[in-house]
Amino acid sequence: MRADRLVSLMMLLQSRPKLTAGDLARELQVSERTIHRDLDSLSSSGVPVYATRGASGGVALVEGWKTQLTGLNRAELQALAAIGGAPGRLGDLGLSGPLRSGLVKLAAALPALQQPALEYARQRLHVDASGWFTQKDEVPHLELLREAAWQNQRVSLTYRDFDGKRSRRVVEPYALVLKADRWYLVAGTEAGTRVYRGSRIAGAKVRAETFERPERFDLPAFWREWCSKFLEKRARYEVTLRLTPEAEATLRRMRPPAEGVRFDEGREEGGRKTVVVDFERESIALGQLCEVMRGFEVVAPESLRARLIALASEVLQTHRF
């Protein structure tokens, strides 16, 4: 793309005192004739480039002149164009507006030669991070937690566990992490570094006192280790099911293989497939199987099978004419 080459040419001239047209042609893998045309384009765009003849001659920029921004290559321009349309969950932090305004300022600071290239990319790449028919976690205290983590201020939390039981605690917010579509708070406590799911934070209040972050705390390294341990220690509740192809497709969408679904290869009589699913808890299994609605049979455990039978009987009794 010519705009990329012009910016590369400008960067070469900016980084080296003086280059000949031959030097530039070899660097950019084009002919000297192309280099002369590109130099004319730079000059027409307001870049103060000049050439001198003779043994010590060459092409250079006026001394002291610098571009406002290092030039971006084609892939970088495409990435900039794509992220501009995808503030995504940054809105939860109150940062989607600042992201857009920051990208506008960044785009405005691009060399004039790259302005059309950025618009070209915008019309060919668009990222929509929102899902279809999905309900995101509501995390009303994210902006407060973001500011507390930024200022190293302690926070009083009211937290709900999985069963809805509330507890209060004082934490030192280190960071916020977005994994897939869920926010998590990484915080220091008296018992060490802990992770709290954002949607279960029922209340948060910034305290006056500040704290010192651990000097050697590294957020990416901590998060990788925590995720690994979480997968090893999480609760398990395995259910054996017989599924029709339609029910299998629904279950695949709801719980992909990475989330504990094992699809056996052999099919049984009637076209049903035996599947083992790790739902973590019985309540999760009951709720998600109700979403599948039809085309499944619980083989084991018997307790879940009994709960589904009881639920079905109650629904039938309630809606009987």
pLDDT in tens, 30-66: 888 888 888 888 888 778 888 887 777 788 888 777 6
Largest pairwise CA distance in the chain: 103
- Mean per-residue pLDDT, 174-199: 90
Percentage of the chain surpassing pLDDT 70? Answer: 82
Of residues 187 and 258, which shows the higher confidence score? 187
Among candidate residues 226, 235, 190, the one with its CA nearest the CA of residue 211: 190
pLDDT of residue 145: 94
How far, in Å, CA of 81 to CA of 84, rounded? 5
Count CB-CB contacts under 10 A for residue 271: 9
- Stretch 84-108: mean pLDDT, rounded? 69
Write down the pLDDT at residue 319.
85
How far is C-alpha 147 from the geometric centre of its chain's CA atoms?
20
Span of 55-59, 131-135, 211-215 with lowest mean pLDDT: 131-135
Is the pLDDT score of 243 beyond 80? yes
Whether the predicted pLDDT of 69 surpasses 70: no
- 3-12, 59-68, 153-162 — most confident range: 153-162
Average pLDDT, the chain: 81
Distance CA 266, CA 158 (A): 49
CB 282 within 8 A of CB 304: yes
pLDDT at residue 154 in the model: 96
From residue 96, give the alpha-carbon distance in Å to each of 87, 173, 201.
5, 22, 22
For the whole model, what pTM was predicted?
0.59
Candidates 309, 262, 259; CA nearest to 284 is: 259
Higher pLDDT, 119 or 48: 48
277 band by pLDDT with thresholds 50, 70 and 90: confident
Q: Residues 281-311: pLDDT tens digits?
A: 888 888 888 888 888 889 999 999 999 989 9
Residue 265 has pLDDT above 90, yes or no: no
Residue 255: is its pLDDT beyond 90? no
* pLDDT the model gives residue 100: 72
CA nearest to 280, candidates 260, 308, 300: 260
In a 3-state reduction of DSSP, which class is residue 247? helix
Q: Is the pLDDT of residue 209 over 70?
A: yes
Give the pLDDT band (50/70/90) at residue 88: low
Q: In what order do the strands lie in the sheet with 238-243?
A: 261-267, 273-278, 238-243, 296-300
The first and second tokens of residue 286, run together, are 């009951």
